[in-house]
Structure formats: structure tokens, C-alpha cells
């Protein structure tokens, strides 16, 4: 990748004009609202309010500047497809101000995302930074999918919509999108109509007991299925204190089996399942919050349900 540093003075000047005039589009109603109301609307999921709140935090407009919180809110809006938020993230990483490390790769990535959503300005600007846009090691937003295998396994328009939905929900569930997508790849191969012999359904292969446990009424509904599976995955990560291998084993075999064997159970399916997802995700720890445990109580997984009727299938 060739960086075009000589263009940065022009880039910064252009972005300064661009962001001052188009940060929240032509709708000035939000700027007339008290910041407390904008914050409340942002927390309720209002996209324009999220963008306005992020802008206020970035520039310290009527509130103490908090660039880290600004990035979080820009990430949230960016994950919902806001080209303004994506362009703003590109601007932040292109400049590297207020304690944020300058990162041309991340800047180009976000500007390219904005360009792909129809932002002509971003399309022109990204060409001034790099020749080829590549996925950065860190995007600044863990809900943004960047798994290198994703393009090969998920190339159809329908599958890309699933990825976009996962990115949107990952922020709400505080999960890495790449972990969720690795689970989906292993569970259903991105087929929302997948159904196993044991009755597991949909993208995240929810068995009826798990669906009921996490409030899913229709496992064939893509968003409900994802919400149920992600709620369970988040719960497991809290239960096993961020240990990804144990959480994945719990998702497949049930958390009680993981406790019984003090680790990944000796079932061939479960061991292969955990190894596959760890290889795709590349991490063995995920942040967690013990408060997530209040959402449910321990239960059984798909393999545990099978074992109850068929007996254990041990490796060797």
C-alpha cells in the first residue's frame, strides 16, 4: 500500500470545510434541541441524534470534549450505515488529534465505507490517502466486521445484508461482529433457513429451549434469531468471564457440560466447533460484563439436548 502523505494539507483543508457543513446534513432541527434531549434521543436509537451527539462530543460543543465517547457514538451511527459518521471517523484517524493516534489505513477504510454508501466527497478524499484500501487491524469499532474470510463465504447481496444487520446489533449487544459472524458461519453457513436434525433453526441455530429462554418468538425471523443467539453468546461470555473457548463450548454443548468437564467437553463435535471458530475469530478473550448474567439462568445447549436422548459422543 502506498501512502500519499503529500496530499495531507489539502486533505485536512477539504475535510474541515466538509465536516463543518455536512456533519448532520441539512436538518437543523436537532441543533436547536437541548443537548440533554439529543443525548436521550441518541440513546433511544435516533440516528440523526447519535450523529449530532457524537459531533458535540468530538468538538466540545456545549459539553466537555470527549473524543473516545465521540468515536463510540460515531461507530454506532456508522454501523447503521451513516456515511456522515463513517466520514467523520475517517477524519478523526486522518488527523490523529486529541490523543487519537493518526492512522492512514483506518482513515482510508472509513472514507471508503462512506464512499460505498454514496458519499462522493469521501470517494474523492480516499484516493488522496492510499492507492489500495485494505482492512485495518483496528477500525476503532469492534462491531465492524473485518474478518478476511468474509468475502469468500459471504458474497451475495442477501448475505451482505446479514452482515450489516450483525454489525448494527453487535454494538447494542457489545459483541465483536467478527465473533458473531464466525459463529454464524459455523452454525448455518449464513443460511437463514438452515435447520438441523435436532430442530435448531436459523442463522444462529437456536433450539426451542434457547429461543424461549431469550425471548425469541420466531426463530425464522433473521433479526429475532440474531438477537436470541447474540443474547445467549453475551450471557455465556459473562458466565465464563470472557473465556471465548468456554463460551463457544457452552453455546454448542451447554454451559453445564463445560462446568462438568472444567473446560471444553470431550465431544468430537464440540471440540471441532470451538477450534473452527477460534481459527476464524483469532482471539481467546472477549470483554464481558457480569450484569449480562441477570438476563437469564444456566441452561443446556444443542449438544446437551442431543446427549439427553442419544448418550455422549466422545472423541476417541
Q: Read off the CATH number of the domain in which 160 is found.
A: 1.10.530.10
Q: Is residue 51 part of a domain?
A: yes
**Domain ranges, residue 243:** 150-310
Report whether pLDDT(3) > 60: no
Does a structural domain hold residue 280? Answer: yes
Nearest to 252 by CA among 269, 235, 266, 238: 269
pLDDT of residue 316: 28
In a domain, 132, yes or no: no
Q: pLDDT band at residue 138, thresholds of 50, 70 and 90?
A: confident
Identify whether 35 is part of a domain.
Answer: yes
Give the residue from 126, 142, 165 where a domain finishes.
126
Is residue 104 domain-shared with residue 163, that is, in the same domain? Answer: no
* Average pLDDT, rounded, for the chain: 84
With vertex at residue 190, the alpha carbon angle to CA 188 and CA 195, rounded to the nearest 5 degrees, is 35
Residue 315 pLDDT: 31
Whether residue 223 is found in the same domain as residue 119 = no
Are the C-beta atoms of residues 163 and 226 closer than 8 Å to each other?
A: no
Which CATH number does the domain housing residue 27 bear? 1.25.40.10
Going 296 to 301 to 306 to 312, the CA torsion angle's sign is negative
Are residues 162 and 297 both part of a single domain? yes
- Which of 50, 41, 114 is closest to 76 using CA atoms? 50
Pick the closest to residue 312 from 248, 261, 241 (CA basis): 261
Give yes or no for a contact between 230 and 286, defined as CB atoms under 8 angstroms apart.
no
Count the domains in the chain.
Answer: 2
**126, 159, 183 — which closes off a domain?**
126
Same domain, 299 and 158: yes
Residue 306 has pLDDT above 50, yes or no: no
Q: Do 92 and 159 belong together in one domain?
A: no
157 and 213, same domain (yes or no): yes
| 316 part of a folded domain | no
157 and 117 within one domain? no
- Residue 296 CB contacts under 8 Å (≥ 6 apart), including other chains: 213, 214, 231, 232, 235
User: Pick the residue with more confidence: 23 or 113?
Assistant: 113
pLDDT tens digits along 78-92: 877 899 999 999 989
Q: What is the CA radius of gyration of the chain?
A: 22
Q: Lowest-pLDDT range, 21-30, 34-43, 52-61, 284-293?
A: 21-30
Q: Out of 28-42, 153-167, 241-255, which region has the weakest mean confidence (pLDDT)? A: 28-42
Same structural domain for residues 160 and 117? no
213 within some domain = yes
For 111, the grid coordinates are 472514507
Query: In whole angstroms, what is the distance from residue 129 CA to residue 111 CA?
Result: 10
Q: For 238-262, how does the pLDDT look when each residue is reduced to its tens digit (9 = 90+)?
A: 999 999 999 999 999 999 999 999 9
Last residue of a domain, one of 111, 126, 141: 126
Return the active site residues: 187
For residue 140, being part of any structural domain is answered with no
74, 202: one domain: no
Residue 143 lies in a domain: no
- 154 and 301 both lie in a single domain: yes
pLDDT at 141 over 90: no
Residues 163 and 288 in one domain: yes
Residue 167 shares a structural domain with residue 302: yes
Residue 264 three-state SS: coil
Amino acid at each position: 500500500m502506498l501512502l500519499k502523505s503529500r496530499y495531507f494539507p489539502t486533505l485536512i483543508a477539504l475535510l474541515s470545510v466538509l465536516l463543518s457543513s455536512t456533519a448532520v446534513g441539512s436538518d437543523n432541527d436537532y441543533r436547536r434541541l437541548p443537548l440533554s434531549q439529543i443525548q436521550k434521543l441518541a440513546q433511544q436509537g435516533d440516528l440523526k441524534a447519535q450523529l449530532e451527539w457524537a459531533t458535540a462530543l468530538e468538538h466540545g460543543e456545549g459539553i466537555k470534549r470527549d473524543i473516545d465517547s465521540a468515536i463510540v457514538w460515531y461507530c454506532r451511527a456508522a454501523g447503521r450505515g451513516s456515511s456522515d459518521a463513517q466520514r467523520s471517523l475517517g477524519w478523526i484517524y486522518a488527523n490523529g488529534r486529541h490523543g487519537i493516534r493518526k492512522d492512514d489505513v483506518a482513515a482510508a477504510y472509513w472514507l471508503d465505507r462512506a464512499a460505498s454508501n454514496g458519499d462522493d466527497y469521501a470517494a474523492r478524499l480516499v484516493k488522496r490517502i492510499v492507492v489500495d484500501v485494505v482492512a485495518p487491524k483496528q477500525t476503532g469499532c469492534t462491531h465492524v466486521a473485518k474478518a478476511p474470510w468474509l468475502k469468500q463465504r459471504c458474497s451475495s447481496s442477501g448475505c451482505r445484508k446479514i452482515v450489516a444487520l450483525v454489525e448494527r446489533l453487535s454494538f447494542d449487544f457489545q459483541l465483536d461482529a467478527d465473533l458473531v459472524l464466525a459463529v454464524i458461519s459455523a452454525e448455518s453457513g449464513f443460511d437463514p433457513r438452515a435447520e438441523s436434525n435436532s430442530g435448531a433453526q436459523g442463522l444462529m441455530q437456536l433450539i426451542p429451549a434457547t429461543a424461549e429462554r431469550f425471548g425469541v418468538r420466531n426463530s425464522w425471523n433473521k433479526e429475532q434469531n440474531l438477537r436470541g443467539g447474540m443474547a445467549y453468546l453475551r450471557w455465556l461470555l459473562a458466565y465464563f468471564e470472557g473465556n471465548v473457548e468456554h463460551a463457544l463450548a457452552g453455546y454448542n454443548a451447554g454451559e453445564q457440560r463445560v462446568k462438568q468437564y472444567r473446560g471444553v467437553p470431550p465431544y468430537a463435535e464440540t471440540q471441532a466447533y470451538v477450534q473452527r471458530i477460534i481459527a476464524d475469530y483469532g482471539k481467546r478473550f472477549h470483554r464481558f460484563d457480569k450484569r449480562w448474567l441477570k438476563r437469564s439462568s444456566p441452561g443446556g445447549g444443542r449438544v446437551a439436548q442431543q446427549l439427553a436422548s442419544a448418550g455422549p459422543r466422545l472423541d476417541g
